[in-house]
Structures are given as structure tokens and as C-alpha cells.
């Protein structure tokens, strides 16, 4: 059973989400703050964290940054309506998605399922057989589509968030094709873009820092006013 950790200082929200998510066959733990969140993580594996931005003590941005220092657990951040800057910063810190308050528990459940599919956590709990063509290579880099792993030309394992991984897969599966921001948002986050949403730009910037050592030889080119294009050859094994 997939394990969801809800971190929110509002007891009504914790209770509502716990009851709702458990009705949909998810194991749920709750925490009021960063201290209780860390205690829960020490007690056993967690598949996804729903993390409120505004918390007593360490806020959600600090906790997300600390998580990303040594963990790839998917994070959905909860933010107040209109806090676009905080949402962008949350993505830069490594959050996989965000949801603005007030929100529908059903929408949160849909986001949880989408992020778990993207990060591969749901697949680890299924009996789905492996398929062929699981390895993709580009410029010395290797992606294992089953294990959802990226290795550098030197063979080192590179830590990617779920959003960064899905963005990279979208690029390598469509090399030398211009992909609009709307399409990339649809592929990686399953929601419509808004005119002020910089989510894809943030994710691309983070991905570039991880796979491009020379900014003058970028693999991900910006197509002004449209989107991005992945410019290197890709081989599927």
C-alpha cells in the first residue's frame, strides 16, 4: 500500500485528507511541523509528501530543500492562492508539483496519482512486466526507463526529481522537435498552463544544471516565444 505523509499545521486539513485518502486505499501519516515530519520519515518508507508551505518553525521551502539534499521522495507543495513567487521557489527547491489553497481533496488525489506515476512509485507496487527498449542514450548519458534512473557519461547516478525526470524523458522521446510549454506542462504535470506559470522554465533550468557542463553547448535550446528543443541524437537500446 502506498504511504502518503501529510504535513500541515491545520488539524482540520490533516483530518480531512487522512480520512479521504484512506478511503482511496492509501496509507496516510500526518505531521504538524518539520520535527514530526522527520520523525515519521525515520519510522519507515514514505512514497509521497504533501507539504504545506506555511508551517511553524522550518517552513515548507526549507523542509523541501533539506529533503532534496539526500532524498528523492516526491513532494506536492500546498500554497496560498496568489503566492506565485513561492510556488516557483518551491519548484526550484525540488517540489514535484503544487496545489493552491483552497483545494478539492479529489484534485489533490489526482495530483498524487499523477506524481506517483511519474516518479515510478506506483509501478514499484504493481506486477507490471518490464518491456523492451528500456534504455535510452544521448551524448554519453543513459536513462533506464524501468528503474527511472539517469547516469552520467562517467556512470554516476544523477538525482532527479519526478518532474525533472519526466521532462528529460519528454525531450529524449522527441529529439529535434520543438515542444511548446503547454505540451511540456501537459506531459509532465497533467494540467493546463497559465500565462504566468513559469513551472516548465524552472524545471528546464534545473535540468540544464544537472546535464549540461558547458552552457555554450546546450542540449536543450530555447525557441523564443514557443518552448524548447532537444538538439542531440538519441539511441534506444
Sequence spans of domains, the chain: 3-124, 135-236
Instruction: Give the CA dihedral 172, 176, 182, 183, nearest 10 degrees.
Output: -50
Q: Which fold has domain 135-236?
A: Arc Repressor Mutant, subunit A (1.10.10)
Asked if 206 contacts 200 with a C-beta cutoff of 8 angstroms, the reply is no
Q: Among the CATH numbers 3.40.50.300, 1.20.140.10, 3.30.2450.30, 3.40.50.2300, which is that of 3-124?
A: 3.40.50.2300
Question: Same CATH topology for 3-124 and 135-236?
Answer: no
Instruction: Give me the residue label for grid cell 496516510.
Output: 28
Q: What is the pLDDT of residue 196?
A: 45
| pLDDT at residue number 86 | 67
Please count the other Cβ atoms lying within 10 Å of the Cβ belonging to residue 34.
Answer: 20
For helices 162-172 and 199-211, what crossing angle results, to 10°? 80
Q: What is the 3-state secondary structure (H, E, C) of the chain?
A: CCEEEEECCCHHHHHHHHHHHHHCCCEEEEECCHHHHHHHHHHCCCCEEEEECCCCCCCHHHHHHHHHHHCCCCEEEEEECCCHHHHHHHHHHCCCEEEEECCCHHHHHHHHHHHHHHHCHHHHCCCCCCCCCCEEEECCEEEECCCCEEECCCCCEECCCHHHHHHHHHHHCCCCCEEEHHHHHHHHHCCCCCCCCCHHHHHHHHHHHHHCCCHHHCCEEEECCCEEEECCCCEEC
Cβ neighbours of residue 3 closer than 8 Å, sequence gap 6 or more: 26, 27, 28, 29, 44, 45, 46, 47, 48
CB neighbour list of residue 134: distance below 8 Å, 6 or more residues apart:
144, 145, 146, 237
Length of the chain: 237
Task: Give the angle subtended at the CA of 119 by the CAs of 115 and 120, to the nearest 5°.
Answer: 115
Low-confidence ranges of the chain (pLDDT < 70): 81-87, 120-133, 186-197, 215
pLDDT digits (tens, 9 = 90+) for 62-112: 999 888 887 888 999 998 766 666 667 777 778 888 888 888 999 999 999
Paired with 5 in beta bridges are 29, 49
The pTM of this model reads: 0.59
* Dihedral sign for Cα atoms in the order 53, 184, 203, 30: positive
Beta carbons within 8 Å of 124's beta carbon, 6+ residues apart: none
Amino acid at each position: 500500500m502506498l504511504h502518503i505523509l501529510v504535513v500541515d499545521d491545520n488539524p482540520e486539513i490533516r483530518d480531512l485528507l487522512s480520512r479521504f485518502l484512506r478511503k482511496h486505499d492509501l496509507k496516510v501519516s500526518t505531521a504538524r511541523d518539520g520535527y514530526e515530519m522527520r520523525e515519521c520519515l525515520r519510522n519507515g518508507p514514505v512514497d509521497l509528501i504533501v507539504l504545506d508551505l506555511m508551517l511553524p518553525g522550518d517552513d515548507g521551502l526549507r523542509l523541501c530543500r533539506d529533503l532534496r539534499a539526500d532524498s528523492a521522495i516526491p513532494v506536492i507543495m500546498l500554497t496560498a492562492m496568489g503566492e506565485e513567487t513561492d510556488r516557483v521557489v518551491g519548484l526550484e527547491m525540488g517540489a514535484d508539483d503544487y496545489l493552491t489553497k483552497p483545494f478539492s481533496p479529489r484534485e489533490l488525489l489526482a495530483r498524487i496519482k499523477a506524481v506517483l506515476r511519474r516518479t515510478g512509485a506506483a509501478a514499484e507496487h504493481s506486477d507490471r512486466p518490464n518491456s523492451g527498449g528500456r534504455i535510452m542514450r544521448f551524448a554519453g548519458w543513459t536513462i533506464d526507463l524501468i528503474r527511472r534512473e539517469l547516469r552520467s557519461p562517467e556512470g554516476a547516478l544523477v538525482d532527479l526529481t519526478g518532474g525533472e525526470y519526466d521532462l528529460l524523458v519528454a525531450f529524449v522521446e522527441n529529439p529535434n522537435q520543438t515542444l511548446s510549454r503547454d505540451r511540456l506542462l501537459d506531459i509532465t504535470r497533467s494540467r493546463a498552463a497559465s500565462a504566468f506559470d513559469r513551472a516548465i522554465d524552472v524545471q528546464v533550468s534545473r535540468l540544464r544544471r544537472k546535464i549540461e557542463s558547458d552552457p555554450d553547448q546546450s542540449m536543450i535550446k530555447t525557441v523564443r516565444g514557443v518552448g524548447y528543443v532537444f538538439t542531440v541524437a538519441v539511441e534506444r537500446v
